[in-house]
Structure 1
């Protein structure tokens, strides 16, 4: 598929760690010929158990080939309601257009019903759901419909398939993304812009402890977790002309995940 996105411009959010899904997506889109603006917010990773990338943002960008004619970077905190529009505007100012939006970013949160707070509910909603819709709004406002390949690719999780009672703020906010996908697709269908959501299932990005890693692996027919590259290949296809007939869908790319085995 190399070269199938030649001339296209993509924005990929949540590209802050070399082991992450966003990094793999950006690398694949670059390999396919796209020009890519990557977004990051390293302070979120720094406050999580897995931590920020030890090479820092500069190391992440260097691993993608370095800033240049086909790669640019912007840092932004999507808790700020003005940030999504600024990030989209940066992509257009840098590359002259924006064809593909990949809203891969996420705020992680571990709070069950006894622990959940209004502040964390609001923050997860703002970053995960509100920012995704505002990114789509800003994308649609600037999109040149005479250009081919208008694509919005959102990211949800598995809460529409099984409960996630230990991660209520995260599950609720990601559930909202899954629910809004069809409505956004309908809003943009007449303009030739497709909107789909990806549920990547369990992906090994270094966040799980050894016990959970073993438990989940037993529930996957391949005996392994998903890899960021598994997700990136799907996103690259959704960004390509080959996916033009697919819109309004949530694609569960989980490798046959059998939750009841855990």
Structure 2
């Protein structure tokens, strides 16, 4: 599949670290020009761009708070200005709050649904308005929506919402040949997975380990490729057999 994204333009949100970073790098390795969208981490975002350029690829970094619709518009404006029409959008940016439901405040609710739901909704809206026919949209959800965990009501509730966006939008964009899918990682080696849970998480997989960002990036790159033309409206699990 190396090089099968040549000539395509990708926007990857939340791509200064973790899974988003791995996805941005993988898409670039396969030929796409990549817009690295981030919220706070100027240094790491710049490192992603440097890594892509060192490998012969094209990339820019754009800082944007995607819970503000005007910033989403700005992000897509920059992408089109630098590289032209957009073919691939990976909506990966997210935050997490872990606490019992009874301890969650209105501020917690507003913050997480702005970060995980509002931001994705307006990213999808902009993608639908701008991307070329035959494009690919991938939304990062979580395998947690298929499991039972305590202290994750706000996080899993927000991810459940975006899974429904995927199902509906896949129908709306199907006539244009645009696929829309959710990608649900399992336990993955990022800062969102506490050290105390890693051994138990590894034991839950038949492979005896937790996932790497590269494991998830390979699945995302497939969903972003021409080979995934017959997959849409799906929630693709990438959890190493955990769920």
Q: Name 2:179's counterpart in structure 1.
A: 194
How big is the shift at 1:124?
1.3
* Candidates 143, 153, 176, aligned match of 2:138: 153
2:164 aligned with 1:176: no
Q: Name 1:32's counterpart in structure 2.
A: 30
Q: TM-score, normalised by structure 2?
A: 0.93
Comparing 181-190 with 163-172, which one deviates more in the overlay? 163-172
Deviation sequence 1:99-151 (CA, Å, 0-9, x none): 00000111121121121111111221112112112111111212233xxx401
In 1: Cα distance, 2:215 partner to 2:45 partner = 23
CA RMSD in angstroms comes to 2.0
The answer (yes or no) to whether the contact 1:79–1:123 under 8 Å persists in 2 is: no
Q: TM-score, normalised by structure 1?
A: 0.87
* Candidates 129, 135, 147, aligned match of 1:162: 147
The answer (yes or no) to whether the contact 2:4–2:30 under 8 Å persists in 1 is: yes
How big is the shift at 1:69?
7.4
* Candidates 127, 131, 137, aligned match of 2:125: 137
Q: Name 2:13's counterpart in structure 1.
A: 13
2:75 aligned with 1:90: no
In structure 2, relative to structure 1, the CA distance for the partners of 1:70 and 1:39 (3 Å cut) is same
Query: Which of the pair is proportionally richer in helix?
Result: 2
Which structure 1 segments of 5+ residues have no match?
A: 44-52
Q: How many residues get paired? A: 243
The answer (yes or no) to whether the contact 2:9–2:83 under 8 Å persists in 1 is: yes
* Equivalent position SS for 2:200: helix
* Equivalent position SS for 1:199: strand
Which structure 2 segments of 5+ residues have no match?
A: none
